[in-house]
């Protein structure tokens, strides 16, 4: 560290992460302030900052499209309907209710951002819990665990997964073949822990289910057309990149979101301005700011310096490096939001592999579209698993955790750090060990 720009880039990045951890400022405000400080102190120009944002345009486009798609169908009340059906399906059994939460959250979060899904589903939990006479806090925490873990089932299920997957040019279909099983294993771990961590609800039998409200779906015709759009989006997620002219998941998501807006406009279930106003713009701005902060570390040479340290520690031992990375990233991700963490770690890991001559220098080019050697991929897989599952460890580990805590407080109960840790730490540790076994088997065979 020899120059003032390096010092500024490091101090600003650490300061922003610290502010986010202790919630001293809104995360978007903290990120924007950090990015603008780099510009005003001439660590980079404004055009360079925009350039770093544009390098990650795929991530931003994907989540903008999905956010629009999800928000468009909110007036149909389909999520309220599914939540009510989950309770009636349980037939008064606490264990079936818990399994129902796992069952309804898993497929949704496999394709939609976990924080967005929690925003939609979590507000339904407190009224349901009140109707059947149980504490809603454990149910909210369970939903968060499943939402975070299910993000590993597909390439587009979690921002961290997509960011890392994009960095190694893995296709949606290849992800399903190689990594989805690890995501399914994470869900299995949660199910195995249900009778232990959620014992009071697991052993409960509810009565008077006939008195519960029966919500109905609004605008069934629009919902049917919307379901067709969603199915087409999922199909093109899987096969789009295999076309002679590949169609990236981000492009598919934007097209799906645009078709959903068209449907809402034509069927008049909502207005386009209303839908766009409710998109989570603050999260997208936060993404942009983090990309700029990491760009500052990259431009000033900090990433390159850290990669040299990593090379000294790990050498060329990929298995040891993968398992070490899994637990280190997992523990860090329980305290640091996983998005800035993986955005920082991806170029660091790439530069380390270049330093130890396992990758060519061309991989540092954002436009690199080649395939990575199979022997180095477990390192990136470990990062995906660690960053995503580490979010289950503490209240500040993932954005969906914060969303659920806010919804809980609106309904009169506060989820404090200790309460979440009581449930989250055992889940995180068990999932990380299960992932370590999976990665070891994957690496060997």
Q: According to the model, what pLDDT value does residue 405 have? A: 81
Cα 269 from Cα 257, distance rounded (Å): 15
Q: According to the model, what pLDDT value does residue 47 have? A: 92
Q: According to the model, what pLDDT value does residue 210 have? A: 63
Cα 158 from Cα 304, distance rounded (Å): 27
N-term to C-term CA, the chain: 41
Q: What is the pTM of this model?
A: 0.76
pLDDT tens for residues 354-397? 888 888 888 877 777 778 888 888 999 999 999 899 989 987 77
Own/partner contacts of 361-367, CB < 8 Å, gap of 24 or more, are 366/55
Q: According to the model, what pLDDT value does residue 265 have? A: 93
Rounded to the nearest 10 degrees, what angle do helices 27-40 and 281-299 cross at? 40
239 Cβ contact partners less than 8 Å away, ≥ 6 residues apart: 173
Cα 214 from Cα 28, distance rounded (Å): 39
pLDDT tens for residues 62-97? 778 888 887 888 888 887 777 677 777 777 788 888
List the structure tokens of 81.
């309907």
Cα 415 from Cα 150, distance rounded (Å): 22
Neighbours of 214 (CB within 10 A): 9
pLDDT in tens, the chain (445 residues): 468 899 999 899 889 878 877 778 877 898 899 999 999 999 999 999 998 888 778 778 877 888 888 788 888 888 777 767 777 777 778 888 899 889 888 998 888 777 777 877 787 788 777 777 788 899 999 999 999 999 899 988 887 888 888 888 888 888 998 899 999 999 999 999 999 999 988 988 876 666 666 778 889 999 999 999 988 988 887 788 778 887 888 898 899 999 999 999 999 999 999 999 988 787 788 878 888 988 888 888 887 777 677 777 777 788 888 898 899 889 888 877 677 778 778 888 888 888 888 888 888 777 777 788 888 889 999 999 998 999 899 877 777 887 788 778 777 888 887 888 899 999 999 999 999 999 898 777 6
Among the listed residues 41, 39, 16, the one whose alpha carbon sits nearest the alpha carbon of residue 29: 16
Q: According to the model, what pLDDT value does residue 185 have? A: 95
Cα 138 from Cα 408, distance rounded (Å): 10
Question: Alpha-carbon dihedral of residues 219, 225, 226, 232, nearest 10 degrees?
Answer: 170
Q: According to the model, what pLDDT value does residue 318 have? A: 84
Q: According to the model, what pLDDT value does residue 160 have? A: 84
CA atoms within 13 A on the CB side of 418: 0
Q: According to the model, what pLDDT value does residue 257 have? A: 92
């Amino acid at each position: 560290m020899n120059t003032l720009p390096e010092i500024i880039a490091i101090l600003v990045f650490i300061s922003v992460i610290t502010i986010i951890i202790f919630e001293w400022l809104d995360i978007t405000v903290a990120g924007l302030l950090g990015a603008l400080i780099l510009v005003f102190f001439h660590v980079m120009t404004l055009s360079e900052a925009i350039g770093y944002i544009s390098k990650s345009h795929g991530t931003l486009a994907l989540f903008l499209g999905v956010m629009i798609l999800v928000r468009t169908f909110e007036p149909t009340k389909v999520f309220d309907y599914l939540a009510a059906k989950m309770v009636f399906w349980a037939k008064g059994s606490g264990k079936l209710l818990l399994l129902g939460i796992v069952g309804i959250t898993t497929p949704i979060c496999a394709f939609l951002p976990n924080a967005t899904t929690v925003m939609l589903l979590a507000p339904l939990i407190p009224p349901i819990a009140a109707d059947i006479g149980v504490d809603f806090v454990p149910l909210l925490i369970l939903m968060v665990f499943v939402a975070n873990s299910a993000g590993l089932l597909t390439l587009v299920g979690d921002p961290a997964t997509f960011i890392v997957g994009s960095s190694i040019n893995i296709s949606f279909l290849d992800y399903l073949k190689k990594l989805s099983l690890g995501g399914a294993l994470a869900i299995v771990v949660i199910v195995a822990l249900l009778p232990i961590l959620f014992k009071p609800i697991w052993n409960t039998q509810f009565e008077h289910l006939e008195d519960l409200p029966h919500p109905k779906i609004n605008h069934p015709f629009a919902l049917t057309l919307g379901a067709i759009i969603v199915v087409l989006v999922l199909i093109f997620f899987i096969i789009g990149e295999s076309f002679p002219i590949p169609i990236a998941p981000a492009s598919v998501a934007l097209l799906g979101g645009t078709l959903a807006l068209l449907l809402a406009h034509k069927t008049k279930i909502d207005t386009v301005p209303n839908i766009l106003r409710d998109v989570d713009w603050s999260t997208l701005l936060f993404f942009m700011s983090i990309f700029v902060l990491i760009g500052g570390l990259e431009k000033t040479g900090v990433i390159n310096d850290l990669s040299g340290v990593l090379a000294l520690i790990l050498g060329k031992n990929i298995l040891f490096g993968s398992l070490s990375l899994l637990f280190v990233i997992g523990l860090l991700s329980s305290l640091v939001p996983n998005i800035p963490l993986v955005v920082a770690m991806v170029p660091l890991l790439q530069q380390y592999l270049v330093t130890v001559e396992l990758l060519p220098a061309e991989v540092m080019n954002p436009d690199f579209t080649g395939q990575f050697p199979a022997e180095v991929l477990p390192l990136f897989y470990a990062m995906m698993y660690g960053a995503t599952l580490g979010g289950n460890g503490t209240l500040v580990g993932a954005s969906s955790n914060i969303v659920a805590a806010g919804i809980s407080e609106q309904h009169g109960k506060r989820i404090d750090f200790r309460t979440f840790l009581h449930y989250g730490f055992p889940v995180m540790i068990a999932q990380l060990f299960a992932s370590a076994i999976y990665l070891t088997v994957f690496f060997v065979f």
